[in-house]
Amino acid sequence: MALDASSIIILVTLFIIYGVFLGFDLFKREEQYSYLAYIVAVVPSNYLWYLSLEIDNFDVLGAYLVLFVLWIITLLRDTFGVYQKKNKEINDILLYLSLGILIQLIISAILPEVNSDLETNTEKLWFFWLPNVHSAVFSPSMATAFKIGATALVLLVIIPLIIDIKDEEVPFPVFIIIIAIFIAPFLYLSYIWLPEAMAVLTFLMSVILFIVLLLITKSGKETK
C-alpha cells in the first residue's frame, strides 16, 4: 500500500526539522540547539514505524535503521566537532543522546500498546517492544544491517569520549563510572550478536574499553 499525500508531506516536514537542528551551527547562533537533533531524530523514525503498516516491504526494523542512521550522522558531526575542538563537548553529546534513547524507549513501550498491530516483528524486553532481530521473518541482510548500525552507534559514542579525554588526568574511579555507563549498550550489543554468550561478550568489551582508557589517559602522578 502506498502512502497518501498528507503522510508524505508530514514525513518530509519532520525530516526537514531534523535537518535544521543537524545544521543549526551553520546559523552562527550562540544557542546549543544543535544537540536537539538527537531528540528530534526520534520523531520521523517513529512516524515511519507508525506508517509501516501502510508501506509495502517496510517494518519496525526499517524504522529503527532510519533512527540509527540519523543518530550516526549527528554523532559524526559532533565527533568532528570534538576533534576540531569546535564548541562540542562529550558531556553534552552523551546527555542528549541518552535523552533521545530514553524517549525512544518510552515510545517503544507506549506505541505498540496503543496499536497492537505495531507489535509485529518485535519482542518485549521488560516494558519495551524492540525489533526481534533473531526472528526468521527478517532477511539476514536487514538483521545484519541493524546489528552493524547499533554497533556503529556505540562506537561513535566511544570515539569522541576517547578523543576528549586522551592524555588527560583521569582518576581510577572515573574509569569505573565510564565502564558502568557502557554496560547497558554492551549488553544489548552482546544480545543482538551472540545472545548465548551475552555475559562473556559484555565482559570482553568492557575489558577492552578499560584497557584503551588506561592507555590513553594519565594518572596525574607521572611527573611526581
In order, the DSSP letters of 87-123 are S--HHHHHHHHHHHHHHHHHHHHHHHHH-GGGGTTEE
Query: What percent of the chain has pLDDT above 90?
Result: 44
**What is the reported pLDDT for 116?**
85
Helix, strand, or coil here: 70?
helix
Lowest mean pLDDT: which of 15-19, 106-110, 143-147, 159-163?
Answer: 159-163
The distance from CA 128 to its chain's CA centroid, rounded to whole angstroms, is 16
Q: What is the dihedral of CA 48, 59, 197, 203, to 10 degrees?
A: -10
Is pLDDT above 70 for 42? yes
Is pLDDT above 90 for 204? yes
Helix, strand, or coil here: 76?
helix
- The DSSP code for 31 is S
Q: Distance (Å, rounded) from C-alpha 6 to C-alpha 207?
A: 50
Contact 68, 104 (CB under 8 A): no
CA atoms within 13 A on the CB side of 175: 20
Q: What is the pTM of this model?
A: 0.89
CA atoms within 13 A on the CB side of 209: 25
Lowest mean pLDDT: which of 76-85, 96-105, 200-209?
Answer: 76-85
Cα 71 to Cα 13, 76, 152: the distances in Å are 18, 9, 10
**What is the reported pLDDT for 1?**
58
Q: Distance (Å, rounded) from C-alpha 208 to C-alpha 212?
A: 6
**What is the reported pLDDT for 5?**
87
Q: Which residue has the higher pLDDT, 54 or 49?
A: 49
